[in-house]
């Protein structure tokens, strides 16, 4: 380790999603340690878990924290969409006696990680080739649907987008998806893409298919649905996963065309990395290319599945030095 690295201050980085909290200390995007993981549902604000983390035995003094959170960050007050959390950023900073507490959207943080992830933590799906110096797209279904991207600057750096693309209106592409949209509209009114591309979306699709087939509409968890599909143990689960991957292909293609993401489309979140080799033969790719005159344009774009264990922490650390 170089002297320059040793002289870098120690900071706290965090990644808060709808399911898990992750904290670590870092001196840079490639120097992360003391990773701490808890359940988001066990807390209701940021101060309590962060205080627990900072109060651990032998924890070095840290006065700066950068946290990615699965929520829009547009002011001091945070009220999470997919968790029962509510807090003030400034009040939390003062209570913890921090000099700086910065929050950014979790998928903005994840986007910032992409240039720092080693190649063996990225799985290429298909035959596309990245074009240097062009935008990159990012989306990931998990508790919700995160969407972001990286835009290159003339200085050779990257700007991460902070948006809520998961809440754009869902557009069906075939009769089954039209029927699912109608079912979802009865329940939710506005039907966002996240209503299908999420853990809750897997459950909703499965319940609708089971009801239509006259099968038992037991309330399976997203993990159970996925496992049954991969084991080919349940026709409704298999169809659910195929529909899910097809919708994801459409969403990824829409993002790629919107951003001109010839630098690649990256898939994160808690669901896709667990699909293994099935994902490569799923309906995702056929749907990704199904854009008429722009099919060849999309076929040239590489798709990567993020297999890094803690990319959100890497991105939060990268934000400190960007």
Domain that holds residue 264: 127-301
Confirm if 120 and 107 have CB atoms less than 8 A apart. no
Confirm if 267 and 139 have CB atoms less than 8 A apart. yes
pLDDT in tens, 128-187: 999 999 999 999 999 999 999 999 999 989 999 998 999 999 999 999 999 999 999 999
Query: Do 282 and 135 belong together in one domain?
Result: yes
User: Residue 117 has what pLDDT?
Assistant: 95
Residue 31, judged by CB atoms within 10 A of its CB (0-12, 13-18, 19+), counts as middle
Q: Would you state the structure tokens that stand for residue 114, as one six-digit string?
A: 């992409």
Query: Do 258 and 205 belong together in one domain?
Result: yes
Query: Do 179 and 84 belong together in one domain?
Result: no
CATH number, domain with residue 135: 3.40.367.20
pLDDT in tens, 246-299: 999 999 999 999 999 999 999 999 999 999 999 999 999 999 999 999 999 999
d(C-alpha 21, C-alpha 44), whole Å: 12
pLDDT in tens, 2-34: 334 445 678 999 999 989 999 999 987 789 999
User: Residue 170 has what pLDDT?
Assistant: 98
pLDDT at 214 over 50: yes
Q: Would you state the structure tokens that stand for residue 24, as one six-digit string?
A: 């670590």
d(C-alpha 155, C-alpha 142), whole Å: 34
Domain-located, residue 7: yes
């Amino acid at each position: 380790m170089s002297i320059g690295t040793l002289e870098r201050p120690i900071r706290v980085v965090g990644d808060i999603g709808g399911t898990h909290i992750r904290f670590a200390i870092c001196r840079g995007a490639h120097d992360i340690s003391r990773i701490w993981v808890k359940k988001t549902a066990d807390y209701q604000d940021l101060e309590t878990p962060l205080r627990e983390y900072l109060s651990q035995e032998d924890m070095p003094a840290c006065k700066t924290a950068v946290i990615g959170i699965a929520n829009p960050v547009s002011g001091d007050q945070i009220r999470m969409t997919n968790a029962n959390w509510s807090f003030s950023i400034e009040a939390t900073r003062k209570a913890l006696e921090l000099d700086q507490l910065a929050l950014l959207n979790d998928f903005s943080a994840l986007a910032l990680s992409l240039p720092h992830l080693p190649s063996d933590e990225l799985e290429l799906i298909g035959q596309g080739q990245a074009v240097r110096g062009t935008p990159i797209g990012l989306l990931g279904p998990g508790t919700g649907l995160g969407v972001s991207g990286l835009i290159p600057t003339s200085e050779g750096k990257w700007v991460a987008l902070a948006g809520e693309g998961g809440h754009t209106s869902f557009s069906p592409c075939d009769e089954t998806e039209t029927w699912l949209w109608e079912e979802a509209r009865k329940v939710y009114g506005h039907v966002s893409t996240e209503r299908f591309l999420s853990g809750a979306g897997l459950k909703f699709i499965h319940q609708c298919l089971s009801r239509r087939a006259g099968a038992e509409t037991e309330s399976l968890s997203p993990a159970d649905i996925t496992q049954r599909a991969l084991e080919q143990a349940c026709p409704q689960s298999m169809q659910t996963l195929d529909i899910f991957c097809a919708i994801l292909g459409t969403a990824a293609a829409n993002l790629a065309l919107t951003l001109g993401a010839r630098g690649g489309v990256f898939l994160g979140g808690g669901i896709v990395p667990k699909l293994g080799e099935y994902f490569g033969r799923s309906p995702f790719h056929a749907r990704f290319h199904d854009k008429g005159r722009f099919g060849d344009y999309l076929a040239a774009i590489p798709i990567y599945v993020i297999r890094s264990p803690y990319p959100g922490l890497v991105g939060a650390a990268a934000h400190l030095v960007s």
